[in-house]
Amino acid sequence: MSARDFAANPPGAWGSATPEQWNDPAWQLRNRIQNLEQLELRLALTPEERAGTILAGKKLALGITPHFFNLIDKDDPDCPIRRQVVPRIEESVTNPDELTDPCGEDSHMPVAGLVHRYPDRVLLLVTDRCASYCRYCTRSRVVSGAGEQELSVDLEGAFAYLEKHPEIRDVLLSGGDPLLLADAKLDAILTRLRKIPSIEFVRIGSRIPIFLPQRITPELVAMLRKHHPLFLSIHSNHPKELTAEVRAALERLADAGIPLGNQSVLLRGVNDRVETLKELYHKLLLCRVRPYYLYQCDLITGSAHLRTTIREGQEMMEQLRGHTTGYAVPTYVVDGPGGGGKIPIGPSYIVGMADDRVILKNYRGDVYEYPEVGQPSPADLTR
């Protein structure tokens, strides 16, 4: 498959669905796979998946839209789409380094649902539901309604906090998936945010364009564009996710002037080969989506089977930078465990630094020297 192929994703396993049903986001949500029976009806599970699915209800719910489910290669137990959404028994194994709140968000919430970690921007969690559930979800402690903790959100309290903190100029709506809210509800939140003069920039983090492209209706897009400047970060991990329907949804958003970015998570057995990442990033550019971040997988409980080492990530980044379009190269980051925020993890191209020069290497490994400008002292200038 070349980067330019965007396969259509017809009803497949839902062969009796009419095109109207298939293209209806409400139908897609009603027909989600949410329990073992529904899953086993359409997929021969491995013993690891079967055991994992039975336990999934206690931690992070099972949820897969028909659209996304149809991308699974049913004959391949290692299918990269399948690994992202079908639970496995390894999820119930907690490694001693793993955390239920790997990014330390709960301790940075001045108001329920509002994470304020950086000086000028906040994360506002507006819902705990998603169209489908990623098994490596960093917020699985509060998302999907299956775990012990519940997401509580004090929207009025959040607006009041933002009004009292004019240093906050950037609000990121997340959750859960904000695009799962009804148009009117989301419109009300965005309208209220836009009434706060200090807020310059609003963005939405959403995997809906990938899980449920049918939700990106012309009505939704017309509502969003009233709130410019509005950016949208999608979450795509594998080139197979970029179907014809997804591309059409992304084009509707881009045509409305919404700058699109992508956040990927580096996952073992999903996108841990540079060829996969390169194809993904090239396809994203064809859809006018700029790769923004590549995340090292958070230390979320039960994620060891999906995590790679940072060294592997750096090696892949090294094979992207300089070897392909700069726009196709995201920033590789790790969220500092416990609450450090995003930390870029290179690789570094600085080989050495002295007062008078910096030694650099380029993408081929050739070494270059950049002489630092001498800083004349005021005495030198007036002499």
Of the candidates 171, 191, 181, the residue with the CA atom closest to the CA atom of residue 127: 181
Is 290 near ligand PLP (CB under 6 A)?
Answer: no
- CA 159 → CA 82, 124, 207, 368, distances in Å? 39, 10, 25, 51
Active site residue: 192, 268, 342, 361, which one? Answer: 342
Nearer to ligand PLP, 44 or 343 (CB): 343
Q: Which stretch binds ligand PLP (CB under 6 A): 30-38, 113-121, 150-158, 304-312?
A: 113-121
Give me the least distance between CB of 284 and ligand PLP, in Å please. Answer: 17
Is 117 near ligand PLP (CB under 6 A)?
Answer: yes
Active site residue: 135, 252, 298, 307, which one? Answer: 298
- CA 155 → CA 124, 182, 192, distances in Å? 9, 16, 10
Active site residue: 134, 247, 252, 281, which one? Answer: 134
- CA 51 → CA 36, 83, 84, distances in Å? 10, 15, 16
Site for ligand PLP in 319-358 (CB under 6 A): 342
b or e along 291-311 (b: 16 or more beta carbons within 10 Å of the residue's beta carbon)? bbbbbbbbbbbbbbbbbbeee
137 is catalytic: yes
- CA 349 → CA 15, 114, 323, 345, 359, distances in Å? 52, 36, 14, 12, 9
134 is catalytic: yes
**Residue carrying structure tokens 């940072």:** 310
Q: What sign does the CA torsion over 307, 312, 318, 320 have?
A: negative
Q: Structure tokens of 30?
A: 């009603």
Instruction: Give the alpha-carbon dihedral of 338, 339, 340, 345, to 10 degrees.
Output: 70
Active site residue: 139, 141, 278, 307, which one? Answer: 139
Nearer to ligand PLP, 31 or 296 (CB): 296
Q: Which stretch binds ligand PLP (CB under 6 A): 26-34, 110-118, 139-147, 349-357?
A: 110-118
**Beta sheet of 350-353, edge-to-edge order:** 350-353, 357-361, 367-371
117 is catalytic: yes
Residue 175 neighbours by CB under 8 Å, 6+ apart: 125, 126, 127, 128, 129, 130, 139, 143, 151
Q: Which helix (H) or strand (E) holds 262?
A: strand 260-266
118 is catalytic: yes
Q: Which stretch binds ligand PLP (CB under 6 A): 10-18, 111-119, 151-159, 272-280?
A: 111-119
Nearer to ligand PLP, 70 or 263 (CB): 263
Is 118 near ligand PLP (CB under 6 A)?
Answer: yes
Active site residue: 137, 203, 287, 332, which one? Answer: 137
342 is catalytic: yes
Is 115 near ligand PLP (CB under 6 A)?
Answer: yes
Active site residue: 42, 50, 74, 121, which one? Answer: 121
79 is catalytic: no
Nearer to ligand PLP, 34 or 149 (CB): 149
Tell me the residue type at 170.
Answer: D
Active site residue: 5, 73, 118, 311, which one? Answer: 118
Nearer to ligand PLP, 168 or 250 (CB): 168
Is 172 near ligand PLP (CB under 6 A)?
Answer: yes
Is 199 near ligand PLP (CB under 6 A)?
Answer: no
298 is catalytic: yes
Is 165 near ligand PLP (CB under 6 A)?
Answer: no
**Residue carrying structure tokens 């029976």:** 37
139 is catalytic: yes
Nearer to ligand PLP, 115 or 130 (CB): 115
Tell me the residue type at 48.
Answer: E
d(C-alpha 285, C-alpha 209), whole Å = 15
Q: Helix, strand, or coil here: 337?
A: coil
Kindly tell me which residue out of 123, 126, 232, 249 binds ligand PLP, with binding defined by CB under 6 A: 123
Binding site for ligand PLP (CB under 6 A): 115, 117-118, 121, 123, 172, 342
- For the annotated catalytic residues, the residue numbers are 117-118, 121, 130, 134, 137, 139, 298, 335, 342
